[in-house]
Every structure is written in structure tokens, then in C-alpha cells.
Structure 1
Amino acid sequence: MKKISIIALLLFAVYVFCMYSYMMSHSGVIPQALQGTAADPVMFMSGKELYLSEEYSKIRNFLFFIATPLEWLLYFLVLVIGVSRYFEKVAIAQSKWRLVQNAGYLFFLSGFLYIVLLPFNYYRYSLSKSYGISTQTLSSWLRDGLVDFGVNFVTTFIIVTVLYWLIRKSAKRWWLYAWLLMIPMTLFVTFIQPVVIAPLYNDFYPLKDKELEAKILAFAGQAHIPATHVYEVNMAEKTNALNAYVAGIGSNARIVLWDTTLNRLSEDEVLFIMAHEMGHYVEKHVYWGITGYLALAFVGFWLTAKGMTWLIARYGRLLHIDKLSDIRSFPLFLLMLSMLLFLSNPLSNYVSRYQEIRADDYAIALTKDKQAAVTAFQKLTIAGLSEVNPPTLVKWFRYTHPTMLERIQKVDEQEPK
């Protein structure tokens, strides 16, 4: 156990060193053909902004690439050292009821992981604040963390209770039944997210600028979006970044603008951003996203079931797992699912980038205002200190949107359709 743990720590240290070297060696040079164009950050960012953007992007990208493997390492050590087995024993000793045992085990496991990862998450928060992206107070950040913990705990408790009940009932096909149950659950969560979950973190209220709201709703009418209000959310107390979105499905679809976007962008730029978000609705990207997510989940559940069965049969003693139906095997489930999700990022991000290009095209067709699109993208870059030309690995694994270099270049060159 000690030998395996040391090897895992050493492998993680080597990986961290390699990723650090890769990220810090990237220069972000703009192709010569685009130098001096609207896509060149030199043309719309100050020297200080350019420096901060490059520095902040490198650190943020590095943290992204070590955050998920760090979770893998924790899941592995929790199993190998016997922490998961200990939490199960303590939970079983507290009650004879399985539901109470599951709740106790998950509370111990979730609390342990939350505390262990708290310094890392605090560093990411303080980094964002030091570069002027986050404006959130420490108390507000801690409150959001506790809300996250509570929401995740309740959600995970429901999932685990159903999941391990299925495993006990059908050791071979539990993964298929779990996937089938995911379909209505995913649709339900997507439906309630704008009106139940999102308000837990921020206050939403009707847009104060009624003239702007009328123009946005006029666009929404052309897009056949069933919305009678545009909502504003108070994000300025948490961030300087800009954003807007159309969320939800059916009658719960909501058009939402961050107040930072309203404060920093002109009316034409806001209308372009909203037209872009409506493009996602028109092309039913939410539904395509749900379909793709469920398809990947099907493959992921199948591979996880096969992988867990093989690992427990071969290394169950090392992992302190006697059988798959033991709730102590849950960290192994999280480990395998997290690895598969991470490896699927290039594919899902590629599809997402294609959808973003389609939404940009729709916005240009609706607004017929290329200039507003270009300046909006430039301001989004400045507000988030975004990297316009990231390294290849970063683009594959992180970027759900095309790079700003690509978006500005494409919009600047195309003719409205």
C-alpha cells in the first residue's frame, strides 16, 4: 500500500512538472497574416493588459490541467489507504437503515474531499481576485462553496442510493438501467435549473432598461423563443467578466444578461451577444447537447461497469473493496467516470465550438452588425483577460468556444447572409 501510494504521488509530480513546462513555454504568437488586424490583441489591448492576459492564462491553464488529475489521485488514495472503507464502517455503525448509512458515508466522503481540496480552490479564487477578474468577497465565496456542497450532496445521495440499489438487483445490467434513469433526470434538471438552482447563487430580476428589453424580445420573437421578460442577474458583486445566455427548456426558457455585460457593452454589442445566444435556441443546441451528453454517458457507464468489475476482481484487496455493491467502491466509480469525462473533452469541445460558430453566424444574419460583433469580442477578451491564441492542448481540452482569434477573424471577414 505504501509503495503504491508513493508511486502514484511520484507519477502525479512528474505530470505536474511536464504540464508546467508545456504551459510556460507557450508564447502565444499571432500568425503574421493576422498581425495588425482586428483579431490581433495588440490592436485593442494595452501593454499591461497583454502582459496580464498572457501571465494569467498560463497559470489558469496549468491549474486546469492539474485539478482533475489531483481529484483522481485523491480518489485513488482514499481507496488504497482505506479511508473509504473506514467511512463505510463508521456510517454502518450509526444506523441499521441503509438510507441513513448512505447519507452518513457520503457526508464523510464529501466533507473530507471538500476540506482537502479547499486550499487548492482558495488559491484559484485568490488568483482570480488578484488579477481583477473576481470581485467576490471571501464570505460570499465561502457561502457559494457551502451551497455547492449542499446541492452536490443532495444530488449525489439520490444518485448513489438508486445506483447501488440497481447494482444489488442486477450486477450485470445495472449500468444500463442507471443510464435509462438518467434520461428523465437530465431533462428534469435542465428544466428546473433556471428557476430553482440558479437563484440559489444569485438574484434574478426583470431587466431595468425596458427599451433594451423590447428590442431583445423583438429578436426573441423572430427566434420563436417563448419569453416575455429578459432577466438581469447581479454578477458585478462577484466578477468583472461578461456573459449572457438563454437557459432552460420549454416554458422555463429564460433570457439572462449579466449586469457586468450591460455596464460594459454598448447597446449594439449587447444585442449581438443576445442574438448569438438566441442562435443556440433556434438551432436547438440545448437538445443536441443533451443527446450528445446521454450518448457519451451510455458509453461511459458501460466502460465504467466493465472497468470496475475487472479492477475489483484483480485488485480488490489493494483497493479494500470486497464486491461492487459495497458503497465503499463509490470513489472508484467517481475515478473512472472522471477519467472518461476528461478524455472525452476534445470531442465534446469540438462539437461545442462548431455550435458556437453557427450561433455567431446566426447573430450576424439577425443583427447585420459585424462591427458590434468584433468590438464585443474584443471587450470580452479584455474583461476576462482571455488568451486569443492558446496552446493546442488547451484548445482541445478547455475551449468550448472557438478562440477569440478565430471568432474575430471569421466575423470580420464574412458577409452577412
Structure 2
Amino acid sequence: MIIDLFAAASAAPFDVDAATRAYLDSLVGPVRERSDAYFEGGYWLLLWGTLVSIASAWAVLRFGWSASWSRWAQRVTHRRWLQPALYALPFVLVSTLIVLPWTIYTGWYREKQYGLMNLGFPAWLGEQAIGLALTMVVTAIALVIIFAVIRKAPRSWWLWATGTMALFIAFGALITPVFVAPLFNTYREMPAGPLRDQILGMAKAYHVPAGNVTVFDQSKQHDRISANVSGLGPTIRISLNDNLLRRGTSAEVKAVMGHELGHYVLGHIWVLIGCVSLVFLGGFLLLWWLAPRILARRAKAWGVATVSDPAVMPLFTAILAIYTLAMTPAINTLVRTEEISADRFGLDAAREPDAFASTAMKLSEYRKIEPSAIEEAIFFDHPSGRTRVRAAMEWKAAHLAELPPEQRAIVRPAPATVASSAR
């Protein structure tokens, strides 16, 4: 990085606009064009992904597969409570196979095309198989509970189902760091050293109950930087991926970890569980109202008579796909709001505004850096690079007198190149 010494704050007030523009202008040419194209293409993926889900659900209903799986479950066991779990197995498997070409395109081919995937196809497919097995187990358990509730409380099942999903989310947050994440990556304790001590020092200062820091090998999947404070209660763990250590400076690592600690200290996991539960509440209420009306017209053609029959699941899936698409701006705004507050916390905790800004530029290698206001409101679940860099420079201007003299200048990063961008 080249520093304009004549722009030191001791000589003139810090120019937030000029500092912000210096960072944004470092992402130019093919790198910026690729980033914009990748992210803008994702807008259409939302629509096409919804249509693919609807088409899959229609096929499963139209050809009578869903009804036949339900009858099979009834033949295998007379325990009604267990039948939804058996139904879940072919339902998840076949639905996954139907959309597999789309999943391959969006999850592997397109990522590879934009240089954002390090896994070969066999390795990627192996991870998908692990995910499929997990989905089958979780879906089987969820359907047992949800359909039991539908049978017991046909008028208010949407409310009880919402509570069930809230518990599922909380339980998932509890067990994921210990039982799920290690299925995809290897976690090792971060080597002792000044950087580890600084991270743990920040954690201790804000009463985050984590005694160590772990590093996971996400470089085998991609080169994106990432970190998290995951888990609940006894499973809380501070983790960062090897890309962050490899690609980031010590100051950038501290900036990222300050942000992640902010999520924990500000209680974002609980806020997120509550808000996502409200989203589920709206979705289940829609299912409760709409599904019986559709079945009244299509029950004979599909072989599905009531919403208490697990065979109704493809219809549920199609309705929820449309509902989720419609709720995308609200969900993104919820997550983005939490990210902004964690950004503010991280700036106060790490006190590394330029490192925060340079990290935002690295994240902009696959996230459009200067979207329009409406784009950011609808499609961004994190603040854009422009928003984050400006926030960092505004923080720097407000705290300029507190920073060491060498950190008071406007930093002008060298322009990014294709070779130095994330592969």
C-alpha cells in the first residue's frame, strides 16, 4: 500500500470522501467487471431457483410419486407418527436428484467459471452427499413433529410448527460447531503467538466465553476469507479460516474477529432466531390457509386428500419457495442490519479502520462493490463494499486524534489484478 504522507491528519482534516474513493478505485478493470457480473447474475438465480423448486414439486405431485411414497410408508409401519419420517427419505432423495443439474450449475460449475471454487467435481459431489444425508435426517425428524402437530391441532398447527422450527434452529446452532462443521473441514487450535493472544484478549474484554481460537481449512473449498463465533453455551467457539490467515494482515484478522465477536456480544443469534421464527410463522400461516384450498381442487389428481398426509410436502415446498422469494428483501434487510451493527462493534473493538476497509475490498471480489440503493436494499444480505469502506473511513475521521500518527493518512491501495484476486 502507498501512503500519501501529505494527507496526514496533522496537516488537514481527514477527507472521508477521498479516503473512501481511494479504496473503491483499487478494484478496477477485469476484476471489478467479474465481481459485478457474478453478483448481478445471482439476482436471476433467485428467480430461476424458485422456478426449479416449483417444477420439481409439480413433477413429484403430477406423476403421483408423493402419494405412492406416503402409501409405502403406511405399509411399512402402522405407527402413524413414524410414517412422515419414512416418507422423508424418498422425498428428499428424489427431490434432490431432480434439481441436481441446477445444483451442479449454481453450486459448482458457475463457481468454477468465476474462479471461486477450488474443489474438483468428485470432491464437491462428496460434500453434497454429506449434506444430503444430513438433510434426510433433519427432514425426517422435523416432519415427524410437524405432522403430529397438524393432526393434533388442525386449527392452530401453524403456530406450534413455528415453535418447532425455532427450537430446531437453536438446536442446530448448538450442535453445528461440534458435530456438523467437522464433517466438511478440519479444525485445529490456532498456534500460540501475539495474534492469537490479541484475539483472545478482545474476547476476554467483551466477556466472550471462549478459551481458544481454532483454524479450519476452508482453502480446500475456496479462497474467500471467513471467520465466526459459533455455537451456544458450552459449544461456543471462535474460528477463522486459513484463507484469512494466509491472505490477511494481522490488522485485518483483528478487524474481522472484532466484527465476529460483535455478533456474539450483541446477541445476534437470538435476534436472528426470533426474526427467522417470525418469517416461518408467516410461511406456516400461509400453508395453513392456502394448502387446503388448493387440495380441494387437486386432491384427486395428486392422490393427496388432506394436509395431515405427508404426501402434501411437495405442495408445501412450492408455496414456501414462492413465499421465500417474496420475503427475500425483508430477510436480507434483517441480516444486513445485524451485519452493520457488528461492523460498528468491530471497529470499536479492533480499532483498525484501514484494515477493516481493505478486508471489505477483499470481500468485494465476489460481491458488487457499488450497487444502487435499491440493489443493496433488495439483494444484499451484507453491506456493500462501498457502505463498509465509508463506515470505516467515517470511524477513522471521528477517532483520528486517538490513532497513531502513521495511521492518520489516507491510504491508497494498489489496484487489484486478476492474479491477486480470489481464485
TM-score range, shorter chain: 0.7 to 0.9
Q: Deviations over 1:145-184 (max 9, x none)?
A: 1111111100110111122222222322222222333343
Residue 333 of structure 2: aligned partner: 350
Q: Give the residue type in structure 2 aligned to 1:223.
A: Y
Superposition pairs of residues 297-336 of structure 1, within 5 angstroms? 297-336=280-319
Deviations, residues 27-83 of structure 1 (Å, cap 9, x unaligned)? xxxxxxx99753577621252212322332233332233112310222133223323
Alpha-carbon distance change, 48 to 41 in structure 1, aligned in 2, over 3 angstroms: farther
Identify the match of residue 89 of structure 1 among 63, 71, 76: 71
Tell me, in whole angstroms, the C-alpha distance in 2 between the residues paired with 1:76 and 1:35: 52
Contact kept? 2:118, 2:222, Cα under 8 Å: yes
1:234–1:259 Cα contact (<8 Å) kept: yes
Give the count of matched residue pairs.
383
Q: Which residue of 1 aligns with 2:177?
A: 194
Pairwise CA RMSD of aligned residues? 2.4
TM-score (normalised: structure 1): 0.84
Matched with 1:411 is 392
**Offset from partner CA, 1:304-327 (integer Å, 9 cap, x none):** 111112222344334432122222
Deviations 1:204-238, CA, capped at 9 Å, x for gaps: 11112532111100000111100000110100111
Give, in whole Å, the separation in 2 of the partners of 1:327 and 1:103: 9
Which residue in the other structure is 2:275 paired with? 292
The runs of 5 or more residues in structure 1 that have no matched partner are 1-33
**Which structure exhibits the higher relative contact order, with contacts defined as CA atoms closer than 8 Å and separated by 6 or more residues?**
2
Q: How does 1:7-406 map to 2 (within 5 A)?
A: 38-39=20-21, 43-98=25-80, 101-124=83-106, 125-382=108-365, 385-390=366-371, 394-406=375-387
User: Tell me, what secondary structure is at the counterpart of 1:205?
Assistant: strand
SS at match of 2:27: coil
Letter in 1 for 2:259: H
Structure 2 runs not aligned, ≥5 long: 1-15, 400-423
What letter matches 1:121 in structure 2?
A: T
> CA separation of 1:311/1:39 partners in 2, compared to 1, >3 Å: closer, same or farther?
farther
Give the Cα–Cα distance (whole angstroms) in 2 for the partners of residues 93 and 131 of structure 1: 48
Q: 1:295 to 1:279 in 2, by over 3 A?
A: same
CA gap 1:182/1:272 in 2 versus in 1, 3 angstroms: same
Among the aligned pairs, what percent are the same residue? Answer: 25
Q: Give TM-score, length-normalised by structure 2.
A: 0.83
2-structure distance, mates of 1:310, 1:343: 21
Tell me if the contact between 1:352 and 1:400 (Cα under 8 Å) persists in the aligned partners: yes
- CA–CA separation in structure 1 for the residues paired with 2:32 and 2:163: 48
- Sort the Cα spacing of 1:46 and 1:390 in 2 relative to 1 into closer, same or farther, 3 A: closer
- Using the TM superposition, name which of 312-321 and 126-135 deviates more: 312-321
Assess if the C-alpha contact under 8 Å between 2:24 and 2:386 holds in 1: no
Residue 135 of structure 1: how far off its partner (Å): 0.4
Task: Supply the distance in 2 between the matched residues of 1:225 and 1:203 (Cα, whole angstroms).
Answer: 23
Q: Which amino acid aligns with 2:342?
A: A
C-alpha separation in 1, matches of 2:325 and 2:286: 14
Q: Offset at 1:341?
A: 2.6
| Equivalent AA in structure 2 for residue 170 of structure 1 | A
Q: Using the TM superposition, name which of 273-282 and 361-370 deviates more.
A: 361-370
**What's the secondary structure of 1:224's corresponding residue?**
coil
Q: Which residue identity lines up with residue 245 of structure 2 in the other structure?
A: L
Does structure 2 conserve the Cα–Cα contact (< 8 Å) formed by 1:202 and 1:233? yes
